[in-house]
Amino acid sequence: MSNFIDLKKECYEANMELKSQGLVIHTFGNVSASDQKRGVFAIKPSGVPYQELTPNNMVIVDFDNQIIEGDLKPSSDTKTHSYLYKKWDGIGGISHTHALYSVAWSQSLRDIPVYGTTHADHLSNDIPCTPVMTDAMVKGDYEENTGKQIIEHFSENNFDYNEIEMVLIGNHGPFCWGKSASQSVFNSIVLEEIAKMAFLTEQINPNAKKIKKALIEKHYNRKHGKNKYYGQ
C-alpha cells in the first residue's frame, strides 16, 4: 500500500479542479502537492488525459527529482516545481496552466496592472511577468531554469512569495502557488479572471489608469491585513 495516499488524493483533486474550471485542455497544465517535512511532492503524470487520471496515477517525486513512487513519467515541468519547493519552503502546492488570458499577458511580456478592487482584494502589486529566458537558460536545464527564473525575478524586485502567489513567465504562461495544492488552483482561477478583466479594461479604455493607492490598501488590508474583516 502507498505511503502517500493522502498526498496523491490532494494532488489528484487539485488537478481535476484545474480541468473543471476550464483552465486547461487536453493534457496541458499540472498541479503538484508537497509534503515539506518528508521532502517529497505528488505531481500529475506526463501526457495522460485528465479523464483517465486517478489518485493512484499521481507520481511521488523528491526535491532532487527522483521518483519515489509511481509507474508513470512525472510532468515535464517537474523540475520547475521541485526547484520552487526547495527554495520556498512555505509553499505546499504549485499550479501551472495555459489559461487563455493569463498566457496572452505572458506573451505580451507585460505585468498585469492593478486596475480595480477585484485585483486589490488578492494582491496589492501588479502581477509580475518575467523577462524572456536567455538562450543559455533555454539551452540548459530548461525546466529547472524556469524555476530559477521565477526565484531570480522575485529576488531582484524584492517580491515576497507569501504575498504575491503568482507569476507570468515571459512568452510561456502562469505559475501559481499556495499553502496547499487547492490554494494554488484557487490562485490560478483568480489570476485568469484578473487577466481577463485587465484585458477588457484596456479594450474599453486604452488609457485606463491604475486605481489609487488608498483603494488598493483598503481592499488588500481588509482581507489580508492585521485587522482583516472581509470574508467574501
- Structurally, the chain folds into a number of domains equal to 1
In a domain, 99, yes or no: yes
Residue 232 placed within a domain? no
**Nine-digit cell string for 147:** 524555476
Range of the domain at 96: 5-224
On whether residue 51 sits in a domain, the answer given is yes
Give dist(CA 16, CA 24) in Å, integer.
10
With bands split at pLDDT 50, 70 and 90, how would you rate the model's confidence at 187? very high
Q: How confident is the model at residue 232 (pLDDT cuts 50, 70, 90)?
A: low
pLDDT digits (tens, 9 = 90+) for 155-180: 999 999 999 999 999 999 999 999 99
Q: What is the CATH number for 12?
A: 3.40.225.10
Beta carbons within 10 angstroms of residue 213's beta carbon: 11
117 in any annotated domain: yes
Show which residues are catalytic: 121, 230
Residue 27 lies in a domain: yes
Instruction: pLDDT band for 108, please (50, 70, 90 cuts).
Output: very high
- In the Cβ-directed half-sphere of 75, how many Cα atoms lie within 13 Å? 30
